[in-house]
Structure 1
């Protein structure tokens, strides 16, 4: 019996050693692949939502499907992954399978092969040179390795910043997801070529400023040189650029050069509508990626995503773009993403961005590029049309007519930064909404809030709105009082104080009740243009004294006001 137990112990020990030895062998192979190719793709069994949430904060998940989680590992994450002891399978792909590089510029512009990087640069310059009235070539920035991150602006007066909604298409932020790269080049060609012959195209180009960035991560796509041979997901530093944007609840990551320059570009333009193109699945993904809670404009996001997929289904082969909810999903319902561009644009910049996954294959074979175009080009055009609907308006000063930068929000609807702002220079704004009736509030520093009720939004039509808001000014504001002048006085929730000219800039304000007890003490700014506005909503009715002290001059003035309710 003891002999049998010893034999069994030896057998199990050998099996255990073989198992761990095999894992060790796989780990070395994994390290070798990452070292040689710059990345490795692995599959792990689905560990459950909590563990997926932990993994996605560190490594780059590319898909969750069935009971499998697919992860791309870079030199930055491979050792962490190995140290976690996951059971995994390495996916090895033939790098150049199905990829045909263009032999010439003319062949590249047939859109059935992949251009070299110099050919790509020439194509973008060709568009701008051939259609100078409709197209200009701009540069978002440069990659780590010095490649240009190029962008086209297509509009009827491309050289002029017109007061039109700006929209943005961008692709290949993951360098190995190539379908969108060619799709964007072909879209630019289609818009420019058909401007004079296609009324839908003309309407889009005449009424929008369309920006197209075909290649957001050139170092990843052209990882092997000037030809697409073995593209990688990450940038040259090994970072997933679509996990590198600021996240509202996660400490700042090490921002990459490409990310910082894209952030600057996005902030400059404040696109009202945008889409980011990927591969690895076939689905339209809408916010939020990082929260399970639906976006306040969920109904609108779902409808435009549904329209994209449903239009595709009319022209595609059966089985294309039918993943999850027949081709659409809220990002978090698929798997959470932190630091993604979609949520950054939608949350931080108050834009509206979706993510379109175009192909199950990360690297689309050249034989499939025309199919991707044929299936999706109507949806590309239809999506842009959404920027022409909803509420379009302008906010101006009721007295001077000057444009006003204001916050536009809907009570009991907007949250999580879903409000929008009017343009600082023009006062123009666009609020994309599902059909319905809305009460909208307009608020700006130095102006009285304005609420317009029962604004109707119809499907497929714009609602025009020209808003004039009144400044918090009266004739007394133009005087130079010897002491603080309050109005209205008595007041209820807010009171304005016109200060002597000797108090400007940083001001300390102390408020005392009639018994001489200090009830408020805070700092604010005093300017020539507006009175100082005091929030007195939390103070009980009665008489008060306010002492205003210029922080720079140490001069103080006292005034008296009454709260009446």
Structure 2
């Protein structure tokens, strides 16, 4: 085991200075007390490893002294500047734009290209739609995937662009892919934090936030639901999880919110790194997981396929307020997940040749599983606009409503359910009741 003082002496020999302005990646035993201590001091927790029961943080020399005063068991440490900078093969914002434009040009009949808004520095945030009639709204269920809320997490656009490439290149050749594309509207935003990623490439390889006033805002602590509610973000402008001056203050957050409100996804995945975990609402303790059984059970199914660990952010990491999955779930009934790819052995900047293909192949079963789920047990259809506002669902034989679903403004609805028998009530200006509906696959009611 290497203690920090011994490594400091070694790094002096290697670099001629101790740490300069760089930090250290430090690894500890994963304990609740260590997680609590790191969060209470607003230290930058970079990832966890549940296979080895370890937690890592990016610390300055001053922060490391505070840790030492707690007599913490430091298992491994190395200066940030001795770690790998990202390989140039990973995509920057310009290359993301080139990629989506090239895909759209190659597959114009099944793709639509859209800028969902501008970043602080005026860059487009690109979204690409994949569907058999991409320029039409066919009231099909929407599946939404995004990458890189955090600028240093360079593997996440690789997952999203691999998904785009796989679906478009296999359409018409693979029966399963063809069915997904024909029956779903698939939206992918490969890179949310375009300004932050540009800064990561050109100024600071560990940059996480957007570029607001030089110090940046953590976009994934800026969503309105639960904003600043559970010590799951910081008011310190230089903290890595600085939440901003108010909920939804950042143009990147606003662009995402407007987009989700417009397309109304059924499922979403937001890719992050690193920790090899699948997260679902809620971010704040002691809020329980959502009442819809499907949210937790499907999260566990994804985790099993990836050999990741499932749970809420507060269970597996720490309290996190103002995150996108809580906002999407509460405001728009999305069943949302964060998937943290790669382990502490790979980190933020894994060697491209060694890790890229391995990571995207490992993660394909996750997004594929949700596309398959959209063909499974559910209630879906279209009702007259203004006729009905909500759907109330009870398990057959019970008197307590287990789920209330707000019908979309265009009259469409798509409710994911576990297999079973349900009593269903459409309510609003009109009322329709259905008793003992057996849900084994998609059930449609067009009223």
Report if TM-score (shorter chain) is over 0.5. Answer: yes
Q: Structure 2 residue aligned with 1:431, among 406, 410, 415? A: 415
Aligned position for 2:260: 266
**Distance in 2 separating the partners of 1:72 and 1:341:** 24
Quote the offset at 1:203 in angstroms.
Answer: 0.5
Q: Cα distance, 1:60 vs. partner?
A: 5.8
- Give the match's secondary structure for 1:354: strand
Q: Could you list the per-position Cα deviations for residues 127-155 of structure 1 after superposition, in whole angstroms to 9, with x for gaps in the alignment?
A: 11111111111112222222221110111
Whole-Å separation in 2 of the counterparts to 1:195 and 1:46: 44
Of 244, 250, 253, which residue of structure 2 is paired with 1:256? 250
User: Is structure 2 residue 144 aligned with structure 1 residue 179?
Assistant: no
- Match of residue 381 from structure 1: 368
1:385 CA displacement: 1.9
Q: Which residue of 1 aligns with 2:119?
A: 143
Q: Return the offset for 1:87.
A: 7.6
Q: Does 1:455 align with 2:437?
A: yes
Match of 2:289, SS state, is coil
- The counterpart of 1:240, out of the listed 214, 218, 225, is 218
1:350 aligned to which of 333, 345, 350? 333
Unaligned 5+ runs, structure 1: 1-28, 35-39, 102-112, 313-320, 468-565
Quote the Cα distance in structure 1 between the aligned partners of 2:108 and 2:271. 27
Task: Tell me the CA shift for residue 260 of structure 1.
Answer: 1.6
Deviation at 1:50, TM superposition (A): 11
Q: In the TM superposition, what is the alpha-carbon distance from 1:86 to its structure 2 partner?
A: 7.5
Q: Answer whether contact 1:220 1:231 (CA < 8 A) is retained.
A: no
Deviation at 1:331, TM superposition (A): 3.1
Q: Which residue in the other structure is 1:409 paired with?
A: 392
In the TM superposition, what is the alpha-carbon distance from 1:295 to its structure 2 partner? 1.6
Alignment match, 1:547 = none
Cα pair distance change 1:187/1:198, threshold 3 Å: same
Cα offset, 1:222, TM superposition: 2.4
RMSD (Å) for aligned C-alpha atoms: 3.7
3-state SS of paired residue (2:369): helix
SS state at 2:80 partner: coil
- Report the Cα distance in structure 2 between the residues aligned to 1:289 and 1:208, rounded to whole angstroms: 29
Distance apart, 1:56 and its partner CA: 7.1
CA distance in 2, matches of 1:414, 1:72: 46
1:363 maps onto 2:349 in alignment:
yes
1:419 aligns to what SS in structure 2? strand
Structure 2 contact 149–220 (Cα < 8 Å) conserved: yes
Structure 1 equivalent of residue 281 of structure 2? 287
Asked which structure has the greater RCO (Cα within 8 Å, sep 6+), the reply is 2
Quote how far apart the aligned CAs of 1:95 are.
7.3
Tell which structure's C-alpha radius of gyration is larger. 1
User: CA–CA distance in 1 between the matches of 2:333 and 2:435?
Assistant: 22
* 1:386-433: CA deviation from partner (whole Å, max 9, x where unpaired): 123332333535xxxx56351123356667xx63222222x2200011
How do residues 511-530 of structure 1 correspond to structure 2 at under 5 angstroms?
none
| CA deviation after TM superposition for structure 1 residue 204, in Å | 0.7
Alignment check: 8 A CA contact 2:143 2:265 kept = yes
Supply the distance in 2 between the matched residues of 1:86 and 1:164 (Cα, whole angstroms).
Answer: 55
**What TM-score do you get using the length of structure 2 for normalisation?**
0.77
Which residue of 1 is the match for residue 235 of structure 2?
none
CA–CA distance in structure 2, aligned partners of residues 158 and 194 of structure 1: 16
Query: Whole-Å Cα distance in 2 between the matches of residues 368 and 140 of structure 1?
Result: 30
CA distance in 2, matches of 1:50, 1:100: 32
Number of the residue aligned with 1:214 = 190
Separation (CA, whole Å) in 2 of partners of 1:405 and 1:57: 50
Structure 1 residue corresponding to 2:405, chosen from 416, 420, 424: 420
> How has the CA–CA distance of structure 1 residues 393 and 353 changed in structure 2, closer, same or farther, with 3 Å as cutoff?
same
Unaligned runs of 5+ in 2: 1-17, 230-245
Partner of 1:559: none
Contact 2:92 2:197 in 1 (8 A): no
Partner Cα distance (1:172, 1:86) in 2: 34
Q: How far is the alpha carbon of 1:372 from its aligned partner?
A: 0.9
SS at match of 1:222: helix
Distance in 1 (CA, whole Å) between partners of 2:224 and 2:43 is: 16
Does the CA contact (< 8 Å) of 1:44 and 1:86 recur in 2?
Answer: no
Shift of 1:192: 0.8
1 CA distance for matches of 2:191 and 2:382? Answer: 36
